[in-house]
């Protein structure tokens, strides 16, 4: 019964995540949702700014702290290890749902692309970013990243084993293609409102900090394997570092 409950819990957490991910596409792209990031403002500027900064800070703290190995070691004293990743995914999804629900548009336009060719280019780059995010997760095992593999193995009575380190596709060009994809989704827009610009700046800053923390953990876990990969492959911009020998087994970064 415990294993079946863990499996059901993991599936529910994944479905909540996937629904949140689909909603985020419309929220950032300004289509298909009741209120998007660039909707008309409904609150005074000062209040909107305070609320938005609080929401972004909450997401950054939750998303980063719960991913740290020290927190995981403490957290799994209370949460069973097979559902730890699913719980992290659930909390991240809830933080995003809260952000979408209470985000305050702020008015103002930083830039607006008028011509159809420019608008189409921006939307194409946005779509490329969304696709790169999704593809990147599948290249490093989508279902492990979002907790389903863990609960399925537990349900089957099999021991969880970490994935091998590999650098498929874009991971051979940059160490963090998933983050590159997110950067495209936040910055590639025909109209950049003040609220959109605030989120893009905040998320970019978060990504740069998160990369440092993640790579410190990955190097501590994989040692020279990850150090070699890090020295050979650029962080976010491809073709900016001379290629060296391919790294050996371990686990890929996001």
Per-residue pLDDT tens over the stretch 179-226: 999 999 999 999 999 999 999 999 999 999 999 988 988 888 888 888
Q: How confident is the model at residue 246 (pLDDT cuts 50, 70, 90)?
A: very low
At 117 the pLDDT is: 95
Helices (H), the chain: 2-29, 45-65, 69-75, 84-102, 116-139, 142-145, 148-155, 177-187, 194-222, 224-232
Q: Give the residue with greater pLDDT, 21 vs 167.
A: 21
Q: Which residues contact 196 (CB under 8 A, 6 or more apart)?
A: 37, 38, 110, 186, 189
CA 79 to centroid of chain Cα atoms: 23
The DSSP 8-state label assigned to residue 170 in this structure reads G
CA-to-CA distance for 254 and 252, rounded, in angstroms? Answer: 7
The answer on pLDDT for 164 being more than 90 is: no
What's the CA gap between 29 and 180, in Å, rounded? 17
Q: Per-residue confidence at 251, pLDDT binned at 50, 70, 90?
A: very low
Cα gap 76→80, rounded to integer Å: 6
Q: What angle do CA 138, 242, 238 make, to 5 degrees?
A: 40
Residue 79: DSSP 8-state: S
Between CA 77 and CA 254 the distance in angstroms is 26
Half-sphere exposure of 193 (CA within 13 A, CB side): 18
What is the reported pLDDT for 220? Answer: 84
Q: What is the pTM of this model?
A: 0.86
Ordered by start, the domain boundaries in the chain are 2-232
Contact 191, 109 (CB under 8 A): yes
Residue 209 and residue 230: Cα distance in Å, rounded? 16
Contact 193, 108 (CB under 8 A): yes
* R_g of the chain computed on alpha carbons: 19
**pLDDT tens digits, one per residue of 218-243:** 888 888 888 898 999 999 999 886 54
Q: What percent of the chain has pLDDT over 90?
A: 68
């Amino acid at each position: 019964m415990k294993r079946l409950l863990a499996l059901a819990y993991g599936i529910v957490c994944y479905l909540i995540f996937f629904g949140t991910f689909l909603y985020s596409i419309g929220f950032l792209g300004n289509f298909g949702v009741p209120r998007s990031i660039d909707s008309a403002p409904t609150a005074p500027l000062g209040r909107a700014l305070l609320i938005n900064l609080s929401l972004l800070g909450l997401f950054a703290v939750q998303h980063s702290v719960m991913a740290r190995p020290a927190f995981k070691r403490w957290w799994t004293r209370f949460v069973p290890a097979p559902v730890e990743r699913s719980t992290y995914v659930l909390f991240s999804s809830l933080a995003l749902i809260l952000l979408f629900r209470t985000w305050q548009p702020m008015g103002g336009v930083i830039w607006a692309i008028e011509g159809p060719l420019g608008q189409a280019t921006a939307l194409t780059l946005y779509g490329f970013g969304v696709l790169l995010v999704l593809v990147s997760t599948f290249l490093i095992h989508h279902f492990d990243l979002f907790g389903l593999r863990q609960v399925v193995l537990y349900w089957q009575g099999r021991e969880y084993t970490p994935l091998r380190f590999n650098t498929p596709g874009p991971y051979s060009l940059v160490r963090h293609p998933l983050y590159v994809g997110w950067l495209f989704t936040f910055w590639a827009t025909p109209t950049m409102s003040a609220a959109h610009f605030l989120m893009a700046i905040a998320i970019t800053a978060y990504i740069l900090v998160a990369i440092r923390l993640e790579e410190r953990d990955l190097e501590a876990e994989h040692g020279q394997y990850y150090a070699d990969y890090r020295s050979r492959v650029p962080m976010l911009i491809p073709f900016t570092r001379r290629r060296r020998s391919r790294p050996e087994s371990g686990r890929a970064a996001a």
